[in-house]
Amino acid sequence: MTNQLNCISCGNAIAAEDVNLQNLVAKCRQCNAVFSFMPQNASTASFLEYKDPLEQTLTEDFLRRPDDGREVEMPSSVMMERDFGELRFTIPWRKTRRWGFFLLFTIIWNGILTPFIVVGIATGSWEILLFTSIHTIVGVSFLLYTLGLIFNKTSIVVTSQGVDIKNGPIPIPFNPNRFMAVRDIQQLFVEEYVPSKTNGQPDYTYAVTALTRSHERQRLVGGFSQPGHALYLEQEIENFLNIKNKAIPRV
């Protein structure tokens, strides 16, 4: 016998891959609602005592850390060191970002394009090279971006002066190195956004964003495929800088 789980907000059927049986939570792709559910034969009392450790409100676009004293565990893909008044993180992109699609697309695109370029160079046919120039630029761009997703790392150094973020070794657009002074940081929070879609489904991505004392929102580091990475960074940086965890309302 099979049971179908439906969204408590819009009634849409929930896909199996959007159900977390360990934490008894599910996410609706239709309306983005995150809700708890009670499995068959579970007692009502035990269900009512349950709290989602990565609780997300249905009307906000940010994720909140547990406010009952529990801490977000360090993901295995994040390396942290603490000494001499510094907090350092090293985060490999290949373990925290989606890169499978880009690798496949890059191989197919450049695989189709390469024979034309080889023929154009071998025969001295500049018409072929000119015709494929735009496609070549696209292919090289995707190649560099894919190599960045596989080989790049994000280095975060937190001191009493500020948060220093560096990405490399391959420079990737929209992932700049940045420094934010502690005096400018009012609060850190995790936001969820959708930079792209795969097969018509949104690719939910997570970032650590700073609310400045001038009430601006500046994204510090993003691109995480799982919320736990961003929540852990927010937690550790706020603890190190003695910033009290607070909810940030949606703009």
Residue 111 and residue 2 share a domain? no
16-20, 105-109, 116-120, 168-172 — which is least confidently predicted? 16-20
Residue 90 and residue 13 share a domain? no
Q: What is the pTM of this model?
A: 0.68
Average pLDDT, the chain: 82
Structure confidence at residue 250 (pLDDT): 67
Residue 108 and residue 85 share a domain? no
Instruction: Report the alpha-carbon distance of residue 139 to residue 110 in Å, rounded.
Output: 6
Q: What percent of the chain has pLDDT over 70?
A: 79
Range of the domain at 168: 53-94+154-251
Comparison of pLDDT for 46 and 144, the residue scoring more: 144
Number of domains composing the chain:
3
Number of CB atoms found within 10 A of residue 207's CB:
21
Residue 245 and residue 211 share a domain? yes
Q: In angstroms, what CA-CA distances link 86 with 19, 43, 191? A: 38, 47, 25
Q: Are 29 and 202 in contact (CB under 8 A)?
A: yes
Residue 251 and residue 194 share a domain? yes
Residue 90 and residue 169 share a domain? yes
Which pLDDT band, with edges at 50, 70 and 90, does 66 fall under?
low
Comparison of pLDDT for 26 and 240, the residue scoring more: 240
| Three-state secondary-structure class, residue 135 | helix
Residue 194 and residue 115 share a domain? no
Residue 196 and residue 117 share a domain? no
Structure confidence at residue 65 (pLDDT): 64
Query: Around 77, how many Cα atoms within 13 Å sit in the side-chain half-sphere?
Result: 16
